[in-house]
Amino acid sequence: MKDEKGLYYFPFPQNKRVRMYVREVEGAICFRLWNADDPELWVEHDWVPYGAIKQAATMSKGNKFDPNQAYDIEVAKMLLKESTNSD
């Protein structure tokens, strides 16, 4: 999906108030979280490259938050590919 902020998907499909935006910068896929209930989140957190997310995920084992679900590289690749094909 796409809006004025860019390409996005719903990382938690049951919650449509949270979106994960994706873009490619110099060959790296980057993510940025948006939450309708926390608009400051968009302001406080910039785009994060997937490599940094994977590195952080190794340090957060045992946490209830699963970064692999929220930051889904396969969904991001698909969105970016579809966007390129439709331009």
Q: Three-state DSSP class for 17?
A: coil
Residue 60 has pLDDT above 70, yes or no: no
Q: How far apart are CA 66 and CA 61, in angstroms?
A: 9
- Residue ranges of domains in the chain: 2-65
- pTM for this structure? 0.89
Question: For residues 37, 51, 27 and 5, what is the CA-based torsion angle, rounded to 10 degrees?
Answer: 0
Q: Three-state DSSP class for 72?
A: coil
- Provide the 8-state DSSP code for 62: T
The model's pLDDT over 10-38, given as tens digits with 9 standing for 90+, comes to 999 999 999 999 999 999 999 999 999 99
The model's pLDDT over 63-79, given as tens digits with 9 standing for 90+, comes to 677 777 889 999 999 99
